[in-house]
Amino acid sequence: MAIQRTLSIIKPDAVSKNCIGKIISRFEDNGLSVVASRFHKLSTCEAESFYSVHKERSFFRDLINFMISGPVFIQVLEGENAVQINRNIMGDTDPKKAKKGTIRADFADSIDANAVHGSDSEENAKNEIAFFFSEMEIHSHKL
């Protein structure tokens, strides 16, 4: 399986609960490496643009209001099969349905405040990474 990159966002709920380190440990313990990261407070415009695929959904306004409610911690993760591995580690979008031991089962409170976002395909990962990071800010470090 090829080395891939994926975008991960630790959302305002998990940041405010002081869970950044615990969540990053889950990625590292499952073979993924953080190769870029940034703390950021999303503007309304940035959040709407990032989540534009959902703009017709009934939850769009709540999603945007939640994502701008506090700082987020954004990372590029790298590793074998990174997109799917990250999705497995995150668990179901709805924490009530997420398997025990996944990030959302352990740290999330609701489908809105669900602790993390992760790219859902390799193509979307490329677009989402480019939304936040230039190639110069991404540093592969595995020997």
Q: Encode 111-120: b = buried (16+ Cβ within 10 Å), e = exposed.
A: bebbbbbbbb
Among the listed ranges 14-22, 34-42, 71-79, 112-120, the one in contact with ligand CMP (CB under 6 A) is 112-120
Q: Is 139 a catalytic residue?
A: no
Between residues 5 and 117, which has the closer beta carbon with respect to ligand CMP? Answer: 117
Q: Of the candidates 20, 34, 105, 111, which one interacts with ligand CMP according to CB under 6 A?
A: 111
3-state secondary structure 33-95: EEEEEEEECCCHHHHHHHCHHHCCCCCHHHHHHHHCCCCEEEEEEEEECHHHHHHHHHCCCCC
66 appears as a binding residue in the annotation: no
Residues 61-90 that bind ligand CMP (CB under 6 A): 63
Q: Which of 40, 54, 117, 141 is catalytic?
A: 117
Give the residue numbers of the binding site for ATP.
Answer: 11, 59, 87, 93, 104, 114
Give the residue numbers of the binding site.
Answer: 11, 59, 87, 93, 104, 114
